[in-house]
Every structure is written in C-alpha cells, then in structure tokens.
Chains A and B, each alone.
Chain A
Amino acid sequence: MRTLLRNGRIIDPSQGLDVIGSVLIEDDQVIEVGEIEDLSDIDEVYDCTGFWITPGLVDMHVHLREPGQEHKETIQTGTQAAAAGGYTTICCMPNTNPPLDNPAIIDFILDKSASPEAGGVFVAPVGALTKGLQGKELSNLGAMKRAGIVAASDEGFPVQNSQLMTDAMEFCVQLGLPIMAHCDDTSLSEGGVMNDGAVSAMLGLKGTPRTAEEIATMRNCLLSLHTGCPVHIMRVSTWGAVEIIRLMKSLGAPVTCEICPMHFTFTEEHIGDFDTKFKMQPPLRTKVDIELLEQALQDGTIDCIASDHSPHASHEVDVPFDEAPYGASTIEATLAVTLTNLMHTGILTPLETINKLSTKPAQVLHLDAGTLVPGETPVAQLTVIDPNVEWKFDRNKSFSKSKNAPFHNMTFKGKALLTFCGGEIYRDALFPSERYAIYM
C-alpha cells in the first residue's frame, strides 16, 4: 500500500522545512518527503495543492475524563475529537476518578486508547505527581514511568508545599521525567472564580489575583533552576508570569511553557452576564495580557500551544457562576483559533505555528512525534491543513461529548482536513472528494 500526499506545502519544524512537495507513505510509515522520484505503484493519492502537510499535531494538555467521569468525555469520544482537531498524539491529565496515580490505571488508559473503537491517536498519559492528587506524598513515579507516563503533574491541584515540590523535582531528574506544573498559590486564589479586576468588582464575583499565578510560577521556576528538573509551566495567562519565565530561561532554568487558546482569544470582559462558558483556570485576563502574551509567543518565550480540553456536561455548567466547573471543550477548535488569531494576523509564521502545535510539545515531553523525518515516529503521523478555508465551529457537530464550547458559533479561517496516524484516521467533510483518487 503506497499513499501519496501530492503537491502540498510541507511544513516540518523538526527539519526547518517549509517547501512545496509531496509525502509518500508506504504501509504505515513515512518513506519520503519532498520531491518524490519514484511514483510507481501508487495506490492512492490525496491532492494537497494549496494545503499544508505537517507533522501530526501534539496536544500536551487534554482531559479525557475516563475513568470516572464518562458523562463528560470518554477515551473514545475524546480521541475522536482529537483526530478531528488534527492531533495524532495527546497527553491526558491525571485528574480522573480515581486519579492516574498508579501503573494499573496507566495500563487501562493505554489499552483503551489503543482499541479499535478509539480515535486512532496516541495517548500519552501524565501521571499524578502525588498520591490521589493530595499534595502530600509522592506517587510511585518510577513504576508509572515504566508503565508509560510521559510526565508527572498534579494539574489543577498544584502542590503547595515547596519542600515536597523540591523532592518531586529531584526524584524526577533521576527518572528523566518532566514535571508539568499548573502554577497557582492557592492561599491567594482560594474561592476565586474569575480574574481579580475591574469586571469581578462590577459583577461581585470573588477574584483570583494574578499574583497567585505569578508567585507559583516563580517558585516552580526557581526550584527547576536549582534542581535541574525540566518543568513545563501549564497555561500561562498573565504578562507577569511570562516575564518570570523569560527571566528564568535566561538564567538557565530548564523551563518551558504553554498557552491555551482561550487565554489569547478572550478576556475577563467575555464573562459578560455571568456566562459560565468563560470560567477558566487560570481565569481569562485582560487585553494588556493578551498583547504581551502575543509578543511572548512571537519571541519564543511561550513554547507551546495546548488545548486544555476540559469537557463538562451541560447540566454542570448551567448553574450559578461560582458553582460552575472551570474549563472548556476546545480540542476541535484549537488549531483553527491559532491559525485565525495568531497565524493570519502575522504574529506567528506557519513554521512557528506548527512548531508550537506539534514539534515543540513533542520535544518537551520526549515524544516520538512532531516530525516528518522517516523512521522518527512509530507510524506515519501527519496532518493536512487547509489554512484558508472559512468555517463556523458548531458544538452540535463536535465529536466531544461535552458542548461547553466558548468557540461555538465563531467563524475561523483554517482547519485540519485530514489526519493520518498510521493510516487515515480523520477526513473532514470540507476535504473535496475530487482530490482523492484510489487505484487499487
């Protein structure tokens, strides 16, 4: 079986490649990239003229909700949504019920995600840093590493005790396991439901001050600097946090960071009349933050873009604002939001865009992904993107089980039309049928 993706714009940040050319897949492997000489025995052809051919996208921050919260999402629906979003590798977060804090649950996740019913993407689990996400005792990180976790994190329940975090980092250095850190000093953020600012004062909602994020960012960066543990800062949202990361990187701390599409698209103003779709953790900030976050995306201080896909059932979000859970269903819109708000606006080049959505996340977590170099990934992983197609995101047509989508009804420019992981795992209705030919 030989498959040709013909005449696309090949964008592969792992090789600094941005050229017009083709990609040849034989069975489930990428064989050749660029100008293909040997076009004999081609079984199927996808005409990619005008489209991008990129390494499969990598999402470092996804909540699949299984086990325990299958009413919000399952491994099956979440991975299908990921494939539709252009992803071939996703990292699932440990705040399930029970949490991902032991090897047996990691086995369960890996088995289930590899089943034929699932979406066909690779799932790389992130293990709980502490048992039960309680912030008290370290999990059995060595055993979980052997079972297949790619990083450790307490995600939305960040470790407050600095001695425990120091120990965790020292142990993770030994294991070669990156720590993913949601940065929040909960003594400052406790009870907060939105950004502490002019809008929270108007709405009478308790604010989460930016200092909660920034103090914890500083602490985690300092501990990273002194222990040498690679720390990935999750979902930065304030200009101050970015400045701290910039400083700590310049001092040599092995830190990286990600931003989520909500935080460069929306501000606290979007909460409007108590709209729970815009309740995020950390909270949506201000226009000034977005301007400086865009600069940091451009200059490379912000390494990665992650969806923080956080599905919640409709009955859970149709409640008073302070009772609503944090987060939004985003994995099917993240690429489009990024292309629309960062690439088409000139903030990121196409190469930088794909770097932050694929290559860099793979490098940060040492994943065999994010590249089109033959043999570098276990199977061919690539995404065909039409960067110019205009479409409207409709949550009722999404694969995700949950419809808490702030991007609902928004029009975007750019979409993944084909996703390959081994073989084709997703073909969008917007991919013109006349562009596909089969000769078998």
Chain B
Amino acid sequence: MSSNLLGIRNLEPDQINELISLGRDFKKRVRAEESVPNLSRKVVGMLFFENSTRTRVSFEQAAYYLGMRSSNFATSASSMSKGETLKDTILTLRHERLDGLVMRHKSSGSPVLAARHFGGPVINAGDGQHEHPTQALADAVTIIERKGTIEGLKVAIVGDVKHSRVARSNGWLLEKLGAEVRFVGPRTLLPTQTANLPGAFYDELDEGLENVDVVICLRLQKERMEQGMIGSTGEYAHMYQINAERLQVADPGCIVMHPGPINRGVEIDDPTADGERSAITSQIENGVFVRMASLYWCFGGNA
C-alpha cells in the first residue's frame, strides 16, 4: 500500500505523529550508523518545476540514505519548456516506470493533479502558496527536540503569511498537535479571510510574541515591495524583524526558526539567526530525516 503526501491539512494527527516518529528514529539510526530500511529497488523522480536547490538536495540525501535511486528532472532541460502539459510529463514518468515522485511546482494544487495521473506515491515538495508538508514536519521534529512536545506550546509564525506555503503547513500541523498558533504580519501580508485557517491573527508583533515558546520567521520576497504591499525592507524590519529586543516579550526559553533562505537584516537579524536561540541549522538537518520518513511512509513502509 502506497500513499501520497500532498499536504498536512488532510492528515490525521496520528499520521503526523507517525511521520514525526519515523523521522526521529531515522535520525537516531543514521547518526549512530545503524541500519535503516533499504528501498534499493525503488526509483523516485525529483520534479522541481521551480528552483529549489535546498529542498531538492535534502530529498536526494534522504533517498540516498534509503538506498533509492533518484532521477532528476530539471525543468530547463525537460519537455515542459517545449510546451508539454504537466499531465503528459507525469504520464511519461509513470510509463518510464518510476516508482514515486517528489514534486515542486509554482501552481497551488498541482500535486493533486500529478497524483491523479501518476498512480503511485507523490510527495509535495512545495506547491505555490498552498502547502510544504515536509518543511512543517522538519520544523515539528525541531520543536520537539528543543521543547519536548508540541502540545500546549505557543508558536508565532511571523511575516508574509498570505503568500506562504510554509505558514499554512506549519499552522495546520501545529494546531493538529495541540499548539496555540499565532500568525503575525502586516495586514497586507495576512489573508483577508481566515475562517478556514488555523490559529489567531495579529498585526502587532509585540502582541503576537507575548509569552511564545517558538517563533517561526518567514522569508519576505522582494516582489512584495514591488507590489506595494509594504513600503520597504527597512519599514518591514522596523515593524516585524525578529531580534533580541523584540523577543523580550517572548518566553525566556523561546526558540527561533526560519525555513530559509534567510534575508539577514530583514525578517531576522544576524545575532538572532546565529545565536543560541536559533534552531535554524537543526531544521535543515531534520529536513533530511523527515524526508526519509516521508519517502518510506509513502512507499508503504515495506523495506
């Protein structure tokens, strides 16, 4: 039995916990150089229709640890640039007998279409502004390592919430596992209607950060300034940058996270990004292990 990992929103808390446990277990075993399941007969296609060196390398590393072969599908070299539809690309890979797909695409919901035509496991590596489930899992493992649990924590997700797939996946995951989720950002970068989203919404950083145990910063795209959603990076930094001064209202043990790539000096300052509160490097490392967990889980867990 194989399954897809298209998003966090449609997962049950049990399934999320299973993925987290698998990820933590793989981390322990890889670090101890113990054996992990071997999926050596499996080939997974890495379809990155949008540039992402970080996530792609992380998935390739995860596949390598599981003994899988990953087949790279670079868009510039592919037939997508010759006008092939996504459906035909997916059908091609299906009949080339790839066993599974990891896909990143600029269009929200495109992994749903891929899964419909592929017929085997599809893992969403980020779709438009919709979901980025493996990032949320990496962040969950990181939080559990630092805080012992997710339940009962107060977590602030700060920045361009409106356009962020990381914000959505993290929000759903953290709420499903019992955290209090707060989305913080300027009104132009928050969704206009929030009824179908988890958590509470704040436009004042101090209010949003009060007594929080975890802060997740989001990347501010330059595009947002061009679109007139915020005056300048300086204006944004002045109002929403995570730094020691702004963190005074947070819980003294508060940790700070960022999914990367970081705009140092904009959404987070240097000392905080590199300081003892920062869990950023753990997020990156845990990304590999939760992606192992996702591959293993989607391929039915049969080694």
Residues of A with Cβ closer than 8 Å to B?
196-199, 201-207, 209, 273-274, 315, 318-323
Contact = CB atoms under 8 A, between A and B. Distances in A.
Nearest to A318: B87
Interface string B129-147: 1110000000000000000
A318 B107 CA distance: 13
Contact of A322 (B107, B131, B193): B107
Nearest to B194: A201
B104 to A, nearest CB: 13
Given A207-B192, A273-B112, A319-B113, A201 B107 contact: no
Nearest to B195: A198
A179 to B, nearest CB: 32
Given A204-B108, A204-B165, A274-B108, A320 B192 contact: no
Contact of A198 (B9, B107, B194): B194
B265 interface: no
A321 B193 contact: no
Given A197-B193, A198-B196, A322-B107, A204 B112 contact: no
A273 B4 CA distance: 14
A322 B194 CA distance: 21
17 contacts: A198-B194, A201-B191, A201-B196, A202-B197, A204-B131, A204-B168, A205-B108, A205-B128, A206-B129, A273-B109, A274-B108, A315-B85, A315-B87, A318-B85, A319-B85, A319-B86, A320-B109
Interface in B45-65: none
B179 to A, nearest CB: 19
Interface string B108-131: 111011000000000000011111
Given A204-B131, A320-B107, A198 B87 contact: no
A197 B197 CA distance: 11
A205 B127 CA distance: 10
A318 B110 CA distance: 10
A319 B87 contact: yes
B126 to A, nearest CB: 11
Interface in B221-239: none
Given A204-B129, A204-B165, A321 B196 contact: no
A197 B194 CA distance: 8
A197 B192 contact: yes
B192 A321 contact: no
A177 to B, nearest CB: 39
Contacts of B109: 203-205, 273-274, 320-321
Contacts of A319: 85-87, 113
A320 B112 CA distance: 9
A180 B97 CA distance: 52
B176 interface: no
B105 interface: yes
A274 B112 contact: yes
Nearest to B196: A202
Contacts of B195: 198
Contact of B128 (A273, A315, A322): A322
A207 to B, nearest CB: 7
Central interface residue in A199, A201, A315, A322, by most chain B CB within 10 Å: A201
B252 to A, nearest CB: 34
A206 B195 CA distance: 16
Contact of B105 (A315, A318, A320): A320
A204 B110 CA distance: 12
B113 A199 contact: no
Contacts of B196: 198-199, 201-202
Nearest to B130: A204
A204 B128 contact: yes
Nearest to A315: B85
A319 B165 CA distance: 20
A206 B128 CA distance: 10
Nearest to B163: A204
A203 B163 CA distance: 11
B193 A201 contact: yes
A315 B88 CA distance: 10
Top-9 shortest CB links A-B: A274-B109, A320-B107, A204-B130, A204-B129, A201-B191, A202-B196, A198-B195, A320-B110, A204-B108
Interface in B267-296: none
Contacts of B191: 201
A322 B130 CA distance: 12
B18 to A, nearest CB: 23
Interface string B71-114: 00000000000000111000000000000000001011110110
A322 B192 CA distance: 19
Given A205-B108, A205-B109, A320 B131 contact: no
Central interface residue in A201, A204, A319, by most chain B CB within 10 Å: A204
Contacts of A318: 85, 87, 113
Contact of B108 (A196, A197, A315, A321): A321
A196 B105 contact: no
A366 B193 CA distance: 43
Contacts of B127: 204
Contacts of A204: 108-109, 127-131, 165, 168
Nearest to A196: B192
Contacts of A203: 108-109, 130
Nearest to A207: B192
Contacts of B86: 319-320
Interface in B185-243: 191-197
Contacts of A201: 162, 191-194, 196-197
Nearest to A322: B107
Contacts of A323: 107
A31 B208 CA distance: 77
A305 to B, nearest CB: 29
Contacts of A209: 192
Contacts of B192: 196-197, 201, 207, 209
B165 to A, nearest CB: 6
A274 B162 CA distance: 18
Contacts of A197: 192-193
A201 B85 CA distance: 26
Contacts of A198: 193-197
